[in-house]
Structure 1
Amino acid sequence: MDRLVPTQRKPLEPGQVLITGDVAGDKLIDTRDLDARAGAPLDVDYVTRRFREVHRVRGVLLHEVLSELEPHWDRRHKMGRLNVVVVALSEDGFQVVLSLAEIDPEFGANRALLATRYNGETLQRPTLVLPGDGRASRYVRHLCRLRLLNVAPEDDPQSRSDMSSTSR
């Protein structure tokens, strides 16, 4: 049997973010392009272990960027997009997981932002900022990858409940 060998990706250039996973095709976005689309500056405040901080950020809503993709929804479910998570990964390996519903304006409406400017400084790679969070623990600095994953159950939930009732 012939196996397909995956195509080797060239390394990301500074400023690029790769969007991959359960989407029709991988997409590269550039921080400069995001910055050109950035909205009005926003003041975000949060608490660290010792201080309350306020920072001025500017960027593009994460949901807006992801809505430009063709994701692979689980078609077995009426609201397949509710089963999708977004994994945000930094250059140093730090990662944060968000649900797509959490950032969707129709559901959680969390205004997650891909910040291209932070306190007036233009960033080489965006920072994922969650303005609604009381802490900055889910902020992802030097974001290099976003991965969409469908986490819907692989089987029919009814068959699982039938099996569990027969095993009693």
Structure 2
Amino acid sequence: MSPTSAIAPPARFTVSGDVLRPACLAVADLCALPLRRAQVSFECATSGVRHHRFEGPLLYDVLHTAGPSFDPARRKDRLRFLIAVTGGDGHHTVLSWAEIDPDFGNAPVLLATRIDDTPLDPHGPQLVVPQDRCGARHISGVTSLRVDGRYVSPGS
């Protein structure tokens, strides 16, 4: 094998912030969790409607494994937690914990390991928000997931 044809190592991403078990993971690590499939259509402003098949674990399962540091005895404590997602191209978005939590919004947000049957190992996982009409919160090549529970409403 020539040096130019070497296989790139799998992309890694971090899970950090207000979690008990911060981690540095690869797409292969996500495959140990229950995987879901989703057929998704995104309406892109520049290229029209895009149709894709994604497979991967729920973002909730990935972050739940990391142990978010909210107080489980106080059900509403988790409502102040935010999730910042960053991609290798600098694209980022923020979701609320309540969006993905089964006790609240229960949105089936995926951290995809495959797109259209193609593994994402060398590129990193993709954040997929299937219920979004446009793909603006779709993040390719996720490099970090950060859980932040510091939000306190004004006057608290």
TM-score of the superposed pair, with normalisation by structure 1? 0.77
- How far is 1:25 from its partner? 3.6
Partner of 1:153: helix, strand, or coil?
coil
Q: Deviations over 1:90-142 (max 9, x none)?
A: 11221110001111111111111000101111112100000000010001100
Q: How does 1:140-151 map to 2 (within 5 A)?
A: 140-151=139-150
- How far is 1:54 from its partner? 1.1
Aligned to 1:72: 69
- How far is 1:71 from its partner? 2.0
Amino acid at match of 1:148: V
CA distance in 2 between counterparts of 1:51 and 1:154 reads: 39
Task: Specify whether residues 78 and 67 from structure 1 end up closer, same or farther in structure 2 by C-alpha distance, changes over 3 A only.
Answer: closer
Amino acid at match of 1:16: R
* Contact 2:36/2:57 (8 A) holds in 1: no
Structure of higher CA gyration radius: 1
* Contact 1:74/1:150 (8 A) holds in 2: no
Percent identity of paired positions between Structure 1 and Structure 2: 31
Could you list the runs of 5+ residues in structure 1 that have no partner in the other structure?
1-12, 158-168
- How far is 1:22 from its partner? 1.0
Aligned to 1:84: 81
Alignment pair present for 1:26 and 2:22: yes
Aligned to 2:93: 96
Task: Specify whether residues 38 and 53 from structure 1 end up closer, same or farther in structure 2 by C-alpha distance, changes over 3 A only.
Answer: farther
Could you list the runs of 5+ residues in structure 2 that have no partner in the other structure?
1-8
Partner of 2:65: helix, strand, or coil?
coil
* Contact 2:58/2:110 (8 A) holds in 1: yes
Partner of 1:79: helix, strand, or coil?
helix
CA distance in 1 between counterparts of 2:106 and 2:153 reads: 28
Amino acid at match of 1:149: D
* Contact 2:15/2:66 (8 A) holds in 1: no
CA distance in 1 between counterparts of 2:36 and 2:69 reads: 32
* Contact 1:55/1:119 (8 A) holds in 2: yes
Q: How does 1:7-156 map to 2 (within 5 A)?
A: 14-37=10-33, 39-49=35-45, 50-73=47-70, 79-123=76-120, 124=122, 125-153=124-152
Runs of 4+ with deviation above 4 angstroms: none
Partner of 1:44: helix, strand, or coil?
strand
**How many corresponding residue pairs?**
145
CA distance in 2 between counterparts of 1:14 and 1:154 reads: 40
- How far is 1:74 from its partner? 6.2
Partner of 2:66: helix, strand, or coil?
coil
